[in-house]
Amino acid sequence: MSISQQKPTYSTHILSNGLRVIFKPDNCAVTYCGIVINTGSRDEAENEQGMAHFIEHMLFKGTSKRRSGHIINRLEHVGGELNAFTSKEETVVFATVLNEYTERAIELLADITLHSVFPQKEIEKEVVIIIDEIQSYNDSPSELIYDDFEELLFQGHNLAHNILGSPQILEKLTTEKSVDFTHRNYIPAEMVLFVSGNLNWEQLKRWAKKHLETTNSQTEKQVRIAPGAYKPARKTIEKNTHQVHFMLGNIAYNLYNPKRMGLYLLNNILGGPGMNSLLNLSLREKHGLVYNVESSFQPFTDTGMWTIYFGCDPDNAARCEQLVYNELEKLRTQKISESALKKYKLQLMGQMAIASENKENLALSLGKSFLRYGKVDELEKVREMIHAISAEQLQEIAQEIFDPTKFSTLIYK
């Protein structure tokens, strides 16, 4: 039997309300579990910007049977942890507990995602906290530039929404608006319960049915509209920072494009976390012009984006930009040698194997992959896909994505 034909090491189940369950057994004392919801900042109306992230915070502030203090202590009293985050397309609430408290964690996750009541007094307190978070974020140009760049890249589209939102909109939020947003978006058929631990699968299915098989009169999520025609733009913003913060990028492949794995590899070669990335070798090691330079590829369900970021002394900005263009031009015009490509593939596969040892991240990946693809590729299957990528394919991707006529650029100075 080939690697790609081997039986999956996970089990799945669908509840009567459409909520999906995925379980990966792990012979350890700790359970990692959570609920991933197909809702993020792109699902907000124009007058709701920041709502998805705000709701994530408010899930901890009270349900029909618990107050905020009870939610906080429910897992911490047994040494567990409860956390959450929001992205452009997902909200994730997750927990870590000893195996014997798994049902307690699942029941709590179900309660806060399906039965939160959003007390107005708690809303008013949390708005102040999130506005402080926004102000703190605005003081960090190396982080803020990513949000501003997304607004430039997806201008006029919901993907341009800042995840944290704006103080003006947040200050107008009410219990009624919060209930309406969750009713429209927290739909069981758009949710996945993911669990990894030393558990009995049949027992886990019974827990899921007991705590998550609730109804929601809203059965279909509003269809997302893909971004319109992309128009490259260049923008400079006066920030009076000590460094110039520079970002360029382009629209890229979505989550379902067969070329996405090739771009993952190519991006890792160009500006991934390794000190031997082409951009790091050029801008930092060879020329000593930057402390940090990186590239990233973020696919979404119907589009994607690829970016490069660096910060440098204002006097070196033009030179750094030219060095970036030089590396991109090499990838567009020269095929990577077979010997170099083999090393790059080994590097990416090694990084992925090491990352898979982080069991919390592995569980999160389990849930998100099942939400998006209805399956989870085993590490060996992913290795097969990476091995199959050719130098010709990488050059073709570089010519498409690294086309300088398609770049948008944002500069803080």
Q: Assess if residue 40 is contained within a domain.
A: yes
Determine contact, residues 21/75, Cβ cutoff 8 Å.
Answer: no
Summary count for the chain: helices (H), strands (E): 15, 11
Map tokens 């792109």 to a residue. Answer: 42
- Whether residues 23 and 113 fall in one domain: yes
- Whether residues 255 and 153 fall in one domain: no
- Whether residues 13 and 119 fall in one domain: yes
- Whether residues 37 and 172 fall in one domain: yes
- pLDDT at residue 1 in the model: 36
Q: Assess if residue 203 is contained within a domain.
A: yes
Q: Where are the alpha helices (DSSP H) in 239-283?
A: 260-271, 278-279
- Whether residues 170 and 246 fall in one domain: no
- pLDDT at residue 3 in the model: 42
Crossing angle of the two packed helices 68-76 and 102-114, in degrees rounded to 10: 160
Q: Assess if residue 221 is contained within a domain.
A: no
Q: Assess if residue 286 is contained within a domain.
A: yes
Map tokens 């899930």 to a residue. Answer: 59
- Whether residues 184 and 139 fall in one domain: yes
- pLDDT at residue 6 in the model: 55
- pLDDT at residue 220 in the model: 76
The pLDDT profile of the chain, 413 residues, written as one tens digit per residue, is: 344 455 678 999 999 999 999 999 999 999 999 999 999 999 999 999 999 999 999 999 999 999 999 999 999 999 999 999 999 999 999 999 999 999 999 999 999 999 999 999 999 999 999 999 999 988 899 999 999 999 999 999 999 999 999 999 999 999 999 999 999 999 999 999 999 999 999 999 999 999 999 876 666 778 899 999 999 999 999 998 899 999 999 999 999 999 999 999 999 999 999 999 999 999 999 999 999 999 999 999 999 999 999 999 999 999 999 999 999 999 999 999 999 999 999 999 999 999 999 999 999 999 999 999 999 999 999 999 999 999 999 999 999 999 999 999 999 99
Compute the distance between CA of residue 314 and CA of residue 309 in angstroms, rounded to an integer.
Answer: 15
- Using DSSP's 3-state secondary structure scheme, residue 306 falls into strand
Number of domains in the chain: 2
**Domain CATH for 255:** 3.30.830.10
Determine contact, residues 193/364, Cβ cutoff 8 Å.
Answer: no
Q: Assess if residue 42 is contained within a domain.
A: yes
- Whether residues 239 and 202 fall in one domain: no
- Whether residues 137 and 45 fall in one domain: yes
Q: Name the residue among 253, 374, 261 with its Cα closest to residue 302.
A: 253
- pLDDT at residue 7 in the model: 64
Q: Name the residue among 46, 373, 42, 45 with its Cα closest to residue 192.
A: 373
- Using DSSP's 3-state secondary structure scheme, residue 259 falls into coil
Domain that holds residue 347: 234-412
Q: Assess if residue 177 is contained within a domain.
A: yes
DSSP 285: I
- Using DSSP's 3-state secondary structure scheme, residue 146 falls into helix
- Whether residues 250 and 166 fall in one domain: no
Crossing angle of the two packed helices 201-212 and 102-114, in degrees rounded to 10: 30
- Whether residues 177 and 300 fall in one domain: no
